Amino acid sequence: MTLLARLEALESKVNKNSYNSSKPPSTDGLAKKTSSLRESSGKPPGGQAGHKGSTLKQAMQPTEHIDYPLPGQCERCHHELPLHDALVGERRQVVDVPVAAFDVVEQRTLSLRCQCGQLHTSAVPASVTEPA
Ligand SMILES: [Zn+2]
């Protein structure tokens, strides 16, 4: 190969980019030709002020309740707890989509104060809160 032929081969190699050859754009280097034709609206990116968002609301009537149980007796004085007086604490609704309709299971934690003043609160099991 002559020097001139080698020079031409090298020059053609250098002048190739993703626009005029099959070279990928990642080999074009830092000088990119691309620029968006879109003109700026002057607004900040993302949701605009005044836009009414939509969030999944809790259903008024759950199909089913799951109450996470309180202990049967006080953990301090060991007095039997009047469980029917328990108040609903945290509510979380899990929406399941069966074949035909929605099934809404409302999971509730309970809280109850013993006669001695000790407050008991049931917890959502870790197996429920942790992603499978
Ligand atoms: Zn007690």
Q: In tens digits, what is the pLDDT along the chain, a chain of 132 residues?
A: 788 888 888 888 777 777 787 878 777 777 666 677 778 888 877 777 777 766 666 666 788 888 999 999 999 999 999 999 999 998 888 877 666 667 788 999 999 999 999 999 999 988 877 766
Compute the distance from residue 80 Cα to the ligand 1 centre, in Å: 8
Going from the Cα of 67 to the center of ligand 1, the distance in angstroms, rounded, reads 21
Q: Which two tokens stand for residue 115?
A: 């006669």
How far does the chain reach from its first CA to its final CA, in angstroms? 65
Residue 81 CA to ligand 1 centre (angstroms): 8
**d(CA 65, ligand 1 centre) in Å:** 27
Confidence (pTM): 0.32
